Chain A
Amino acid sequence: MAQATIDVPAKNLWGGGTSPFGASYGKLMMWFFLISDAFTFSSLLISLGYARHVHADTWPLVEKVFFHFPFTHAHLPLLYVGLMTFILIISSVTMVLAVDAGHSNDKKGVLFWLGLTVVGGLVFLGSQAWEWYTFIVGGEGVMKTVVIDGEVKDVLIQGANLQYNEYGHTLFANFFFFITGFHGFHVFSGVVINAIVWWQAAEGVYEKRGHYEMVEKAGLYWHFVDLVWVFVFTFFYLL
């Protein structure tokens, strides 16, 4: 299905004049960028694992933190994050279909599926904004002994900021903000890239070029964002 169109004997692959990987420069560079990005996210998740291993006694139970759901006060642990995961998976599927439509030079199909992908990304970002809001505002709060301006005080801590949070260890909130924030920023830039590609496809730029490889490259990035969320879901929320 996806063989390069030129067939070169294996021993001549590195002889020049052809891509040894059977992939264009742009796609190759997107893959290399994704490798480096994978390292960044791995480091974040591994340092999260390290911190919760060292501070296991003050690390909160995730289902005691994330149990909110919009328009209800019921205690529904994990359901909202599950929904966010599902939204991202579905937007990944629409992206695959956009890439697939691009393979058959189907402009209408590309516009339709890529448009849905952009919408899915925006819905995910909205969900994340709501989750951050709930996390920052918090619930009833807890009394904590903290040091403010050199003075030791007992203060009611509600919600979370980078210094204190009512849920548990400071690092818990810090990792929450940093990991989901960094991922959310990837989603945001993915939405922007997809929107630009959508616009260019609508303008007929790729039709003139004769191929829709740009959709494929944007797709690689988008799937990577989904891939990262799969790991964040497991290592931040489930474990």
Chain B
Amino acid sequence: MEHTHDQSYEYSHGHARTPEQSRAVRRKIALVTLLLSVITVVEILVGVYYSKTHVTPGTWTLIKWFYIVLTLVKAGYIVMVFMHLGDERKNLRTTILLPMLFVIYLIFIALFEGETIIQYVEELMK
């Protein structure tokens, strides 16, 4: 079979992998699976036992950030290990991750505008 013009063949991964390497990959997958499951269980337990109605607003803010951090940890492991982005070249990683800055910008705009609208409605209600 002639593969000289098949880019995918040239760049496809792991042509010659030793059994030890394969085992290491599987071990990593198992560990990440365990981590993702544990994080999900922790999130649900916190959600059930520390309901918004049962905690002070301060604690709720803390729990919110706790959720967001755990979510980002999960997302990081999915993208870097499951999607193999961690194994790609640095320039590809940057190309994919850098545009996500726009998302942060949109969050900023939405919070800012939302706050303005609340104030505006409050003014109208006076």
Name A's B-contacting residues (CB within 8 A): 1-2, 4-6, 13, 19-28, 31, 35, 38-39, 42-43, 46-47, 49-50, 53-54, 61, 63, 77-79, 82, 85-86, 89-90, 92-93, 95-97, 99-100, 103-104, 208-213, 216, 219-220, 223-224, 226-227, 230-231, 233-234, 237-239
Contact = CB atoms under 8 A, between A and B. Distances in A.
Given A5-B15, A24-B7, A239 B64 contact: yes
Q: What's the interface size class on B, roughly? A: 35 or more
B37 interface: yes
A24 B6 CA distance: 9
Contact of B29 (A4, A23, A96, A219): A96
A33 to B, nearest CB: 11
A213 B51 CA distance: 45
Contacts, number: 182
A5 B10 contact: yes
B118 interface: yes
B10 A210 contact: no
A234 B43 contact: yes
A215 to B, nearest CB: 10
- Counting from the closest, the 7 A-B pairs by CB-CB distance are A2-B87, A103-B14, A21-B92, A211-B12, A82-B44, A24-B8, A53-B114
Interface of B: 1, 3, 6-15, 17, 21-22, 25-26, 29, 33, 36-37, 40-41, 43-44, 47-48, 51-53, 64, 67-68, 70-71, 74-75, 78-79, 81-84, 87-89, 91-92, 95-96, 99-100, 102-103, 106-107, 110-111, 113-115, 117-118, 121
B29 A21 contact: no
Do most interface residues of chain A lie in helix, strand or loop, or is the interface mixed?
A: helix
B83 A234 contact: no
A31 B100 CA distance: 13
6 contacts: A1-B21, A2-B88, A96-B81, A210-B9, A223-B78, A237-B47
Contact of A227 (B6, B21, B79): B79
Contacts of A233: 40, 43, 71
